[in-house]
Structure 1
Amino acid sequence: MAGVAAKAFTGLTGLKVAVNPTHTLGVLYSKTLRALAKMPAEYPYRKQTETLVVQRADIIKNTPTIMEAEQKIGMGQIEEVIIQAENELVLARNILEWRAWEPLAEKAPKDQWKWPL
């Protein structure tokens, strides 16, 4: 993004301006995709998250300015998108550790998934 206009502050308490958001997001997205690749291909979380990450990476890569990327992504300022990407990476790694796609070790109690009770 050659046309990056430096902003002085985000206007959000405690959230500093990202120095190089395109690089930061590129690293986070590639790490997330590597974690997702270790999950079964048919696992719904993997499918949905891969789609989202690839879409956002494409926006970041092909948009001339950060402001345009923020608008296309539609999830707040780029600094907030970075926080979301960091949280998604943590979640993907946790799901890998939990192996959440495997069947339950024990049968679920009757009516566990029934709502309202």
Structure 2
Amino acid sequence: MALLQNAVKASGLARLWRGAAASLTRATGQDLAPFSVGYKTTTGIVGVEVDPQAPETLRKMLKQILREVKVIPENAQYRVSVEVMANERLEVVSKDIPPEQMEEEIGAGQLEELILQAKDELSLIPKMAEWKPWVVPEGHKIKMVVDDAPIPPPEPEGEEKK
């Protein structure tokens, strides 16, 4: 059966196989999950397809993010935040653990969702490099307003406002 799984993966027929397996499961009542190509058949999110190679896809994208974010100054908070996020996720997807456990450890959704986030980050990096939000124009002054008024206590529950 492993030979069949590898042939299906290599030929690009994974989606067809999953559909056929689901139909056979419904028709026969036998669970074909052990013979499925990927770790899941659907993300449950409209428009977001299952990526049977999600850990590898995400790993490559996170490495690309870490390369591309270097155009941002090292001390810019955007770069610091992006590098922390990418390194934390890269550490998890580089482990030899099931994809479901990766999703749980990262705690930010399914791997396919993280791939979409990574694509968005990759499109944002060049824009941030162009916009330079970390640069404060010469002579720019920030007006600070201090309000020392005490914060009113919360109103007790069940009482109406007067």
User: Shorter chain as normaliser: what TM range?
Assistant: 0.7 to 0.9
Is 1:33–1:53's contact at 8 Å kept on the other side of the alignment? yes
Larger Rg: 2
- The sequence identity of aligned pairs, in percent, is 28
Is 1:35–1:96's contact at 8 Å kept on the other side of the alignment? no
Q: Cα distance, 1:97 vs. partner? A: 2.0
Q: Cα distance, 1:27 vs. partner? A: 2.0
TM-score if structure 1 supplies the norm length?
0.80
How has the CA–CA distance of structure 1 residues 106 and 25 changed in structure 2, closer, same or farther, with 3 Å as cutoff? farther
1:23 lines up with 2:68 in the alignment: no
1:14 lines up with 2:47 in the alignment: yes
Q: Cα distance, 1:53 vs. partner? A: 0.4
Q: How does 1:1-117 map to 2 (within 5 A)?
A: 5-104=38-137, 107=140
- Deviation by residue 1:34-91 (Cα, 9 ceiling, x = unmatched): 1221211111111111011001001000141100000001111111111111111212
Letter in 2 for 1:92: I
Where structure 2 has 5 or more consecutive residues not aligned to the other structure, the ranges are 1-36, 146-162
- Tell me how many residue pairs correspond in the alignment: 111
Q: Say which SS state the counterpart of residue 94 (structure 2) adopts.
A: helix
Where structure 1 has 5 or more consecutive residues not aligned to the other structure, the ranges are none
Provide the rounded CA distance (Å) in 2 between the counterparts of 1:68 and 1:5. Answer: 15
TM-score if structure 2 supplies the norm length?
0.59
